[in-house]
């Protein structure tokens, strides 16, 4: 792990002496600079979870990734810095699936005896900073509020407060995982035709007062001044959004154009 290039990638010049403040700084910075995105899948690339491949993709190539990539990289950074890290796996309920499979990775990080849920790879509506792992307590991360609850089957559910009440985002198994345990789920997520990530472009990034998200042709912005949404008209607009809004570089426009030929009318 070369920590200085990673810190430069996420815009952090130095870390505070406090371990908790350092964790908070890293988490906030990564969710505001490294986008959640699936573009490499649509370019026809194989998604590797090898530490050197993740480092090369995110730090050296200026790309983002999804949960298995971003949280794996984050776990490696935290372990290099001396944090106690447990890897977890869970089910995403936010998309409305009645029985979702285990396709989401998060981290449980302990600092000075207090455990925190860390997740830099969930996408729109995810955590901005570490959330204390305290069942029933509400954590406020402006402009969002989150809560962890126990479930009848022993999992831990993360919910976010919306205008319609608490919305379940994902539930986590109580056991810790090893890096190799994610390989089957990563393969399914990045290759199966039913996977959400193999069908259309997806991207998300936190901003100072909200977030930006891309789903298919729809670009959405949420901030202190409200919400706005627009439909992209062609591939040129899509490439512009990926480059300028999400900061992605080295896009294979030819491969993307071929894969997304049916996305635009």
Q: Which are the catalytic amino acids?
A: 67, 104, 119
As a whole number of angstroms, the distance between CA 202 and CA 92 comes to 16
**CA–CA distance from 3 to each of 13, 22, 36, 80, 121 (Å)?**
11, 13, 21, 8, 19
**Alpha carbons 219 and 41: distance in angstroms, whole number:** 19
Coil/strand/helix, residue 94: coil
Angle between helices 19-33 and 67-80 (to 10 degrees): 150
Helix locations, the chain, DSSP H: 3-9, 19-33, 39-42, 51-55, 67-80, 183-191, 235-240, 253-259
R_g of the chain computed on alpha carbons:
18
The H or E element containing residue 160 is strand 156-162
Question: Which residue's entry shows tokens 């305290």?
Answer: 134
8 A C-beta contact, residue 169 and residue 93: yes
């Amino acid at each position: 792990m070369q920590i200085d290039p990673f810190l430069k990638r996420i815009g952090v010049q130095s870390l505070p002496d406090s371990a908790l403040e350092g964790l908070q700084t890293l988490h906030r910075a990564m969710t505001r600079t490294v986008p959640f995105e699936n573009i490499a899948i649509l370019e026809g690339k194989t998604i590797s979870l090898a530490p050197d491949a993740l480092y090369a993709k995110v730090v050296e190539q200026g790309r983002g990734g999804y949960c298995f990539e971003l949280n794996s990289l984050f776990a490696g950074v935290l372990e290099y810095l001396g944090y106690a890290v447990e890897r977890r796996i869970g089910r995403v309920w936010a998309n409305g699936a009645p029985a979702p499979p285990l396709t989401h990775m998060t981290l449980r990080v302990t600092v000075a005896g207090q455990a925190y849920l860390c997740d830099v790879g969930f996408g729109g509506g995810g955590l901005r900073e570490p959330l204390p792992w305290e069942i029933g307590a509400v954590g406020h991360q402006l402009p969002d509020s989150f809560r962890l609850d126990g479930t009848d089957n022993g999992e831990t559910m993360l919910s976010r407060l919306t205008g319609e009440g608490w919305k379940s985002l994902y539930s986590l198994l109580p056991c810790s995982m090893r890096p190799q345990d994610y390989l089957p789920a990563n393969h399914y997520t990045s290759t199966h035709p039913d996977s959400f990530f193999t069908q259309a472009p997806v991207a998300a990034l936190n901003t100072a007062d909200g977030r930006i998200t891309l789903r298919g042709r729809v670009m959405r912005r949420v901030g202190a001044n409200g919400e706005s949404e627009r439909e992209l008209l062609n591939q040129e607009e899509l490439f512009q959004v990926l480059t300028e809004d999400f900061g992605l570089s080295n896009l294979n426009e030819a491969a993307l154009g071929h894969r997304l030929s049916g996305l635009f009318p």
